[in-house]
């Protein structure tokens, strides 16, 4: 990647992390872990009839993001979690009109001991959990067994509430930087994770992400040459990484699991229609191709009001997907 792109991407990543960290508020857990508190944007899916395209919204914009402190000393317990009242968040999203949601893994597995609580909550608002976002390093071979244990714990809970998709994020960057062999290791780990989820009837895909080893277009291509997993293209992450979202969607059309919709402006991630991305161009291409899959709106890292982001994105999609 050219130096200019690297500097631009670094700036966007700093903005993203600053927003995700909620003005750099850091809280020490009782385990001594540093937990990053951040504002995340809610993302939810609209539920329609079975086999009909759904458009959802992710919940991660309605509260600070933390990592489980136990994960500092126990790989199998690493997970992301959106802090906040899950029911209140669900209420706000469904009031806008979205009826399907995606959550971070911790907001699913926290109910593992009594999954009926989560089922009742979803039923109360006539909603469904369409997908779950799961993170892992994947490249450290000694940790892979415990990471797969974690994948299975997520898959069990996901199956219990009828989740369709698992969007996998990750691919750790070593202290000495990304090694070319890491792409093979990441691809191997993703294939293993996809197999775990498939055993529970859930389709796994990889979500290219800022701050991972699959950020820039050439990195994405390198990774997908090493794995058979499907892709979950996130339009804003692809653009912020220096790529063309439409060209990536075209290139990997046959491997798309479902699509993350998000806009991008000069300050970072934005509600749909409030940035400079050609979202309509992507939607039109997918329509022309006869795409029948699902979509998820995600506006994480947005500094504004999460309800405004949700409503604005919903209005943008009226007459297009809604």
Count of C-beta atoms within a 10 Å radius of residue 196: 21
pLDDT at 72 over 90: no
pLDDT at 133 over 50: yes
Q: What per-residue confidence (pLDDT) applies to 124?
A: 98
Q: What per-residue confidence (pLDDT) applies to 232?
A: 98
Mean per-residue pLDDT of the chain: 86
Out of 68-77, 197-206, 278-287, pick the least confident: 68-77
Domains in the chain (CATH in brackets) are: 3-317 (3.20.20.150)
Q: Can you list the pairs that 216-219 forms with residues at least 24 positions away whose Cβ atoms lie under 8 Å?
A: 216/1, 216/5, 216/9, 216/241, 216/242, 216/243, 217/241, 217/242, 217/243, 217/244, 217/248, 218/1, 219/178
pTM recorded for the entire structure: 0.84
- Stretch 11-20: mean pLDDT, rounded? 55
- Stretch 3-29: mean pLDDT, rounded? 49
Between CA 117 and CA 132 the distance in angstroms is 17
pLDDT band (50, 70, 90) for residue 14: low
Residue 1 burial (C-beta neighbours within 10 Å; 0-12, 13-18, 19+)? middle
Are the beta carbons of 60 and 300 closer than 8 angstroms? yes
pLDDT at 68 over 50: yes
- Stretch 76-100: mean pLDDT, rounded? 91
Q: Which residue has the higher pLDDT, 19 or 40?
A: 19
Count of C-beta atoms within a 10 Å radius of residue 44: 35
Q: What per-residue confidence (pLDDT) applies to 317?
A: 98
Q: What per-residue confidence (pLDDT) applies to 49?
A: 39
Q: What per-residue confidence (pLDDT) applies to 64?
A: 74
103-128 per-position pLDDT tens digit: 999 999 999 999 999 999 999 999 99
- Stretch 32-44: mean pLDDT, rounded? 34
- What is the Cα 163 distance to its own chain's centre? 14
pLDDT at 29 over 70: no
Between CA 229 and CA 268 the distance in angstroms is 28
Are the beta carbons of 151 and 132 closer than 8 angstroms? no
Residue 34 burial (C-beta neighbours within 10 Å; 0-12, 13-18, 19+)? exposed
Q: What per-residue confidence (pLDDT) applies to 48?
A: 36
- Stretch 205-213: mean pLDDT, rounded? 95
Most confident of 51-55, 133-137, 274-278: 274-278
- What is the Cα 159 distance to its own chain's centre? 18
Nearest 10 degrees: CA dihedral of 73, 194, 108, 160?
-130
Between CA 203 and CA 225 the distance in angstroms is 19
pLDDT at 284 over 50: yes
Q: What per-residue confidence (pLDDT) applies to 8?
A: 56
Out of 14-28, 90-104, 173-187, 245-259, pick the least confident: 14-28
Q: What per-residue confidence (pLDDT) applies to 115?
A: 98
């Amino acid at each position: 990647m050219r130096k200019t792109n690297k500097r631009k991407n670094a700036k966007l990543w700093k903005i993203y992390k600053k927003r995700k960290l909620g003005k750099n508020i850091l809280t020490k857990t009782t385990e001594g872990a540093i937990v990053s508190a951040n504002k995340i944007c809610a993302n939810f899916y609209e539920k329609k009839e079975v086999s009909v395209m759904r458009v959802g919204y992710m919940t991660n914009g309605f509260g600070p993001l933390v990592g489980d402190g136990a994960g500092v000393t126990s790989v199998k317990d690493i997970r992301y979690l959106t802090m906040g009242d899950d029911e209140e968040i669900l209420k706000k999203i469904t009031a806008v009109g979205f009826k399907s949601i995606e959550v971070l893994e911790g907001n699913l597995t926290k109910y593992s001991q009594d999954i009926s609580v989560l089922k009742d909550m979803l039923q109360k608002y006539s909603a469904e959990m369409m997908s779950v976002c799961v993170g892992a390093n994947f490249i450290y071979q000694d940790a892979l067994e415990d990471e797969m244990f974690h994948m299975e714990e997520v898959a069990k809970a996901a199956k219990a509430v009828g989740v369709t998709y698992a969007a996998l994020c990750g691919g750790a960057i070593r202290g000495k930087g990304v090694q070319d062999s890491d792409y093979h290791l990441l691809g191997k780990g993703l294939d293993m994770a996809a197999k775990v989820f498939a055993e529970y009837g859930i389709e796994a895909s990889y979500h290219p992400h800022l701050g991972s080893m699959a950020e820039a277009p050439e990195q994405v291509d390198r990774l997908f040459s090493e794995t058979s997993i499907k892709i979950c293209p996130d339009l804003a992450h692809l653009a912020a990484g220096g790529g063309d979202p439409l060209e990536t969607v075209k290139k990997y059309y046959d491997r798309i699991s479902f699509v993350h919709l998000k806009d991008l402006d000069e300050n970072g991630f934005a509600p749909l229609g409030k940035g400079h991305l050609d979202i309509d161009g992507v939607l039109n291409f997918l329509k022309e191709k006869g795409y029948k899959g699902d979509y998820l709106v995600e506006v994480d890292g947005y500094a504004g009001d999460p309800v405004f982001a949700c409503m604005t994105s919903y209005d943008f999609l009226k007459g297009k997907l809604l």
